[in-house]
Amino acid sequence: MITGLDHVVVLTSDITAAAAAYETLFARRPAWRNSGDGADRVLFTLDNTTLELMAPRGEDEAAQRVRNALVTQGEGLASLCFRSNDIGKLHRRLDRLTLKPEPVAEVESRDEASGATLSWKRTRAATEATRGIRMFFLEREKERPLSVRMSPGSITAMDHVVVATADPERAAALYGARLGLDMALDRSHPDWGRLMFFRCGDLIVEVTHRPGKEKSSSNAEAPDRLRGICWRVADIDATHARLVAAGVDVSEVRTGRKPGTRVMTVRSGTSGVPTLLVQPSQGKGE
């Protein structure tokens, strides 16, 4: 019933600076801007998912919750939102699997520039039941508008989002058996630990367990963490040149772990999100 990763939420204390930085990184314009429920939001919608920047606005209780989250965890990845084509059926499944979903709510958003509206139905699982990762689930009435590409070398899509876990067996049970994502890979290596890839539409939820972490009771109970995002590009050399010219701190292009891929690390302008760019082995054109 989960058809894809609808969006990820990135918390920031400065929505204007964050939006400008991601516009530079993606070479794509924001697709949606709105304010409400204690927050300003700027959305970048790529070919397979959306990145939502969120900053506190106002002094009400909702705004204070966003501020408290910034104080507690700092800027960076805050939550995952999965997409469903039947939120009622998914809600019943989440309830049966003791993920303690909130009642389904109807939500509407209006774009500040165009005045267009979007509506969807949404629920949220209990964070303690999802191993510390904030997870939302929604069913949308229609697609969001795509972010317009501004220049060659733009980011095309998300490749994968990374979740770090202290207990890979429980994480595998959550993403595979309970959420129903298809496990595409389960591999261990002495240098980089255990990797599990779960297909989620046209991208991967990558669950990692670092080596040398013994499964003591205290460590196994540590919450999972959102660790970073990898974005796809069609021509990594063009993207590298564009970002260097824009003053973004990036690494040199290097060979990726997966045969035929080339990658680089983005070290600035990501609002605290560890970020990797990859040119797939059989690149997807722009």
pLDDT of residue 219: 66
* Burial bucket for residue 128 (CB in 10 Å: 0-12, 13-18, 19+): exposed
Q: What is the pTM of this model?
A: 0.94
Q: pLDDT (tens digit, 0 to 9) for every residue of the chain, 286 residues total?
A: 899 999 999 999 999 999 999 999 999 999 999 999 999 999 999 999 999 999 999 999 999 999 999 999 999 999 999 999 999 999 999 999 999 999 999 999 999 999 999 999 999 999 999 999 999 999 999 999 999 999 999 999 999 999 999 999 999 999 999 999 999 999 998 888 899 999 999 999 999 998 665 444 446 679 999 999 999 999 999 999 999 999 999 999 999 988 999 999 999 999 999 999 999 986 444 4
pLDDT of residue 178: 96
Could you give the C-alpha distances from 110 to 114, 117, 143, 146, in angstroms and in order? 8, 4, 14, 16
* Burial bucket for residue 103 (CB in 10 Å: 0-12, 13-18, 19+): exposed
